[in-house]
Amino acid sequence: MGLILFTNATLLDCTGSEPVFPAWVAAENGIIKEVGTGPAPDLPGAEKIDCRGKTLMPGLIDGHMHASLFTNDLGDLHRKILPSTSCFMAAKVLEDTLMQGFTTVRDAGGIDAGFREAQKQGLITAPKMQVCGRALSMTGGHADPRLPTEIAPPVAVGMLGVIADGVDEVRKAAREQLRMGADYIKVMAGGGCASAADEPDTVQY
């Protein structure tokens, strides 16, 4: 990416201070090196971008998102969308999220560590991310989207959770998510708005 100098920007540092104009920011290879106010310095070899009329601010963090949830009906993820299509759709969601100013996200169930590694390797355009893989859910819980006629647990790409009942199953499910590269463990301890079989105030586990 080289050296980039952003000039004539309105700078919002998100500390509670008033916006500052004019301000400038120097970044090299995607890393902010220096920030200042007033006229921008002369940096030989730098690509200059005039930000007059625009605001520069630190990247936002989304602490709870689901990049692979494309519908309010969680069951549709494994009934109507092919696994390969789900991967491309999730990658598009992540790219759109980055373009909206979120440079770090925590996915709270759905995508696996492969998306995190793909971002690190430059294979997809996406924010930095932490992932839990699949959230732990009891049978009939918030992350169990099965219809009464469905028996087998859903295994499609992007499914929100893995079903685990009792101490031993929960322990094993947590170990499996960590084995597959999860940064943390998500537990569906209560109901939710997107699951048909429970209410948001239902106590689970």
Q: Is 193 within a domain?
A: no
Q: What is the pLDDT of residue 202?
A: 85
Same domain, 160 and 77: yes
170 and 95 within one domain: yes
pLDDT computed for residue 116 by the predictor: 98
Distance CA 37, CA 203 (A): 53
Domain total for the chain?
Answer: 2
Please give the Cα distance from 186 to 199 (Å, whole number): 19
Pair 111, 132 in one domain: yes
Residues 69 and 54 grouped into a single domain: no
Find the domain containing 162 and state its range: 61-179
- Mean pLDDT for each 10-residue chunk of the chain (205 residues)? 92 93 93 92 92 94 93 74 89 97 96 97 98 94 83 70 94 98 96 77 86
Q: Which residue has the tokens 């295994």?
A: 155
Looking at the structure, tell me whether residues 72 and 140 fall in a common domain. yes
Q: Is residue 205 part of a domain?
A: no
Which pLDDT score is estimated for 81? 84
CATH of the domain at 20: 2.30.40.10
The answer to whether residue 186 is domain-embedded is: no
pLDDT in the model for residue 74 = 73
pLDDT value of residue 28: 93
Residues 6+ apart with CB under 8 A from 129: 94, 104, 105, 106, 107, 115, 116, 119
Which helix H or strand E contains 129, and what residues bound it? Answer: strand 128-131
With the C-alpha atoms ordered 169, 171, 172, 177, is the resulting torsion angle positive or negative? Answer: positive
| Burial status of residue 111 (CB atoms within 10 A of its CB: 0-12, 13-18, 19 or more) | buried
Is 127 within the bounds of a domain?
yes
How does pLDDT run across 22-55, given as a tens digit for each residue? 999 999 988 999 999 999 998 999 999 999 999 9
Same domain assignment for residues 109 and 163:
yes
Q: Please state the pTM of the whole predicted model.
A: 0.84
Tokens 């696996």, residue? 112
